[in-house]
Amino acid sequence: MDKLVTVIVPAWNAERYLEASLRSVLEQSHRRLRLLVIDDGSTDKTAEILERLHREDPRLDYRSVPNGGPAAARNRALALLPEGTDYVMFLDADDLLLPDALDYALRGAEGAELVLFGFSIQRPDGSLRDYCEPEALLDRTALGEAFPRLYKANLLNQVWAKLYAAPLLAGLRFPDYRWGEDRLFLFDVLERVRSVKILPESKHRYVMHEGESLITRYYEKKFDVCCEIDGRIEGLCAALGAGGDADFRYMFAKSVFSCLTNLYSRSCRLTKAEKRAAARRIGNDERVQRRCRDSSGGLPTGLLCAVLRSRRVSLTLFCFRLVAWAGERFPRLFTRIKHKK
């Protein structure tokens, strides 16, 4: 328990939530830690908060860099890891760690290079939804067997809620994307990891804020990243000897669905003609036609996959506009469907 843990936090215009997030790290029961924050070109009071907290607790260090997105900010932090760092953890600037999160993860790290623990989504009304899996210690063979289950359980979609042995990350960097870069980084980790510990308790809190949309911001490269992720999945399945292809098809289909609902995000500025072109491109894509069939996920997934495979642009746009509307109107139901295992 004397191990040095460095917690990396990228922060961009995070003044509303940043202090609570950082204090959730500095007040951990495990005291031997460094908190490394990259101020990603903020124009609000983020820098002032960081300077004040640094004066209060020198375990917090920060750097201010021109805005480049969370991937570039995390890469900057990885290049600045304090000497002697044994483990690394990532946290977003508006999320929280429970007070014993580091101790809990470190206790599970014996004999493992990577620790995955549970997380909770905290809705604006304060209610929680937990995402966790039973405790297990996995070697490469067992990881291959568990890979479809862990991926479908949403434990491999993000870099947080994990503890990484520092040598495991040597030379690894996040790709320069603004969506999906977490997963691609994790796939790099999984390609080299030899042992993984799964811990069942939820110690990370992903906080949804009032007015926050469940439909993520529009990102013009999202579909291309989806396809890159699915290609990496196929490669990892081969390397790990993983089966359960239906679950991976299901996760790819959900990502494609997200690309189409994003066309109706408040941040999407595409014209009607440009939205039709985007839907046509997705529906005609060879990978979509090949992978969006025979997936798990039940009737709703099967119906939306059938819409995609029909290549009918007007039908596709109508259905996913309806999905986007449902996400805004019935957020709890949308969350349950979106994160269905």
CATH code (residue 116): 3.90.550.10
165 pLDDT band, cuts 50/70/90, is very high
**Nearest Cα to 275, choosing from 314, 234, 301, 330?**
314
In a domain, 217, yes or no: no
In a domain, 226, yes or no: yes
Distance CA 31, CA 17 (A): 22
The SS3 assignment for 177 reads: coil
Is 331 a residue whose pLDDT tops 80? no
In a domain, 92, yes or no: yes
Of the spans 24-38, 112-126, 296-310, which averages the highest pLDDT? Answer: 24-38
In a domain, 40, yes or no: yes
In a domain, 77, yes or no: yes
Residue 7, pLDDT score: 98
Question: Based on the domain organization, do 62 and 158 belong to the same domain?
Answer: yes
Question: Based on the domain organization, do 190 and 304 belong to the same domain?
Answer: no
Question: Based on the domain organization, do 140 and 274 belong to the same domain?
Answer: no
Contacts of 47 (CB under 8 A, 6+ apart): 39, 64
Query: Which residue is listed with tokens 């980790």?
Result: 189
Question: Based on the domain organization, do 187 and 91 belong to the same domain?
Answer: yes
Question: Based on the domain organization, do 266 and 183 belong to the same domain?
Answer: no
∠ CA 154-159-164, nearest 5°, is: 120
Task: Provide the domain limits for residue 79.
Answer: 5-207
Last residue of a domain, one of 207, 236, 262: 207
340 pLDDT band, cuts 50/70/90, is low
In a domain, 213, yes or no: no
More confident residue, 154 or 296: 154
Question: Based on the domain organization, do 261 and 334 belong to the same domain?
Answer: yes
∠ CA 231-89-95, nearest 5°, is: 95
Question: Based on the domain organization, do 55 and 146 belong to the same domain?
Answer: yes
The SS3 assignment for 35 reads: strand
User: pLDDT per residue over 2-29, tens digit each?
Assistant: 999 999 999 999 999 999 999 999 999 9
Question: Based on the domain organization, do 320 and 201 belong to the same domain?
Answer: no
In a domain, 212, yes or no: no
Is 273 a residue whose pLDDT tops 70? yes
Q: How far is CA 118 from CA 45, 99, 154, 200, 335, in A?
A: 32, 14, 10, 6, 17
Residue 213, pLDDT score: 56
Last residue of a domain, one of 207, 235, 261: 207
Of the spans 1-5, 112-116, 208-212, 290-294, which averages the highest pLDDT? Answer: 112-116
Distance CA 163, CA 97 (A): 12
Contacts of 164 (CB under 8 A, 6+ apart): 87, 88, 89, 113, 114, 189
179 pLDDT band, cuts 50/70/90, is very high
Question: Based on the domain organization, do 257 and 166 belong to the same domain?
Answer: no
Last residue of a domain, one of 207, 240, 263: 207
Contact 10, 90 (CB under 8 A): no
Is 86 a residue whose pLDDT tops 80? yes
In a domain, 214, yes or no: no
Query: For the chain, what is the radius of gyration of the CA atoms?
Result: 20
The CA-to-CA distance between both ends of the chain, in Å, stands at 34
Number of compact structural domains in the chain: 2
Question: Based on the domain organization, do 17 and 88 belong to the same domain?
Answer: yes
Question: Based on the domain organization, do 243 and 188 belong to the same domain?
Answer: no
Query: Which residue is listed with tokens 């067997």?
Result: 145
